[in-house]
Amino acid sequence: MVSNFDRIYEEIQREARRVSEELGLEPETLASLTLEIVNLEDRHRISHIHAINKKVRALIESAAVAQVREGSDRD
């Protein structure tokens, strides 16, 4: 039996692979970022997290910067 988490995670990975080239990010980076955002939003739903949008934006920017650094390390 496959849990809901497993099905959702598989869908996130599939979509990450689908859009990764278009966005210029690694599929693992996109999947990880998505899970971090979902986790943050879930915690916010349970107990209010101050400046949630700013924190989500920071996660996205951090992932983008890390990807750029990794790309420049390869060159």
CB 40 within 8 A of CB 56: yes
**Which of the residues in the chain have pLDDT under 70?**
1-2, 72, 74-75
pTM, two decimal places: 0.78
Q: What is the pLDDT of residues 20-40, one digit of tens each?
A: 888 888 899 899 999 999 999
pLDDT of residue 37: 94
The average confidence (pLDDT) of the chain is 88
Comparing C-alpha atoms, which of 26, 21, 40, 39 is closest to residue 68? 26
Distance of alpha carbon 39 from alpha carbon 45, whole angstroms:
10
pLDDT of residue 11: 94
